[in-house]
Structure 1
Amino acid sequence: MTDGIHTEPGLSQGKTYRLNLVCAGSGSAQLRFEPAKAGTAATVPCDGSVVQQRIAADKLVRINVDGGSGATGVIAWQINAL
């Protein structure tokens, strides 16, 4: 997980999306958005659970997911329009 996920998806302004994120392995990962909005940061356990976050595409959104200290495994993500 040393590379993490760092992306600026092409979202349509004014639409709402759902980010599905899963981490499989051990440890945890940190999910952050830029620009930061209250309540959007989250710790994602690397136990295969799916974490969901709603995204309102007001501006360009950058999604950052970094593995926690000693975390190992893989991270997968998907964004769907609502």
Structure 2
Amino acid sequence: MALLVDELMTKQPRPLGRSLILCASALSVALVTGCTSDSGGPSASASSPGQQQKSPSNGSDLTDEKLGKQVEKTLDTAEVSDSDPLFVEAGLERVGDGFHSVPDLTRGHSYKLSVVCVGKGKISLSIAVKNPVRQTLDCDGVTFRQHLTSSAAAIKIDGDGMPGATGMVGWRLDKADK
């Protein structure tokens, strides 16, 4: 009887069990390696010790950055401060992403909206106010300006790229001087 118990306790795993263990180990190593390797993709960590941040591999990222700076310069939003008593809000987006804003405005006050698109193609701009505004803007860097008066209803501002349009679009909303 002792021989039988000893034989069961020292028995090696079956070949199938050994294969499953090896397969699971190999899969674990592959997953860990895949998750920790630096692929340079968007999920790669730029703050890993000993690694330098890579420049964008996509030329459109550099173009968007250049066009974005041009929009900011045109709208004078690069250095805008919340301490400016007339400033309400500003934004910058890729034309393909569009922009959508529902600013918090004071009823009965007047505002100035400025929109600039830089790149290729056109955007469709709509401003939901008492008398809705719909405008097609060329992405030529020319500023579109609209005077707004806030009513009881929220004002909604939407800018969407038309098919084939590329570049950057920005907006700035300020209180009107009185």
Q: CA deviation at 1:35?
A: 4.6
Q: CA deviation at 1:36?
A: 6.2
SS at match of 2:127: strand
Q: CA deviation at 1:17?
A: 0.5
- Report percent identity of matched pairs: 32
1:79 aligns with 2:173: yes
1:19 aligns with 2:110: no
TM-score by length of 2: 0.44
Q: Matched residues in 2 for 1:55 and 1:65: separation? A: 16
Q: Matched residues in 1 for 2:156 and 2:130: separation? A: 9
Q: CA deviation at 1:44?
A: 1.0
SS at match of 2:141: strand
List runs of 5+ in structure 2 lacking aligned partners. Answer: 1-94
Q: 1:41 maps to what in 2?
A: 134
TM-score by length of 1: 0.91
Q: 2:104 maps to what in 1?
A: 10
CA displacement 1:24-72 (0-9 Å, x = unmatched): 000010110225625x111111000000011110020110000011000
Residue type at the aligned position of 2:166: T
Q: Superposed, which structure 2 residues align to 1:35-74 within 5 Å?
A: 35=129, 37-38=131-132, 40-58=133-151, 59-74=153-168
Call closer, same or farther: CA 1:15–1:36 in 2, change over 3 Å: closer
Alpha-carbon RMSD across the aligned residues, in angstroms, is 1.3
Between the two proteins, the alignment pairs up a number of residues equal to 81
SS at match of 1:60: coil
Call closer, same or farther: CA 1:35–1:15 in 2, change over 3 Å: closer
List runs of 5+ in structure 1 lacking aligned partners. Answer: none
Which structure dedicates a bigger proportion of its chain to helix? 2
Higher alpha-carbon Rg:
2
Residue type at the aligned position of 1:43: T
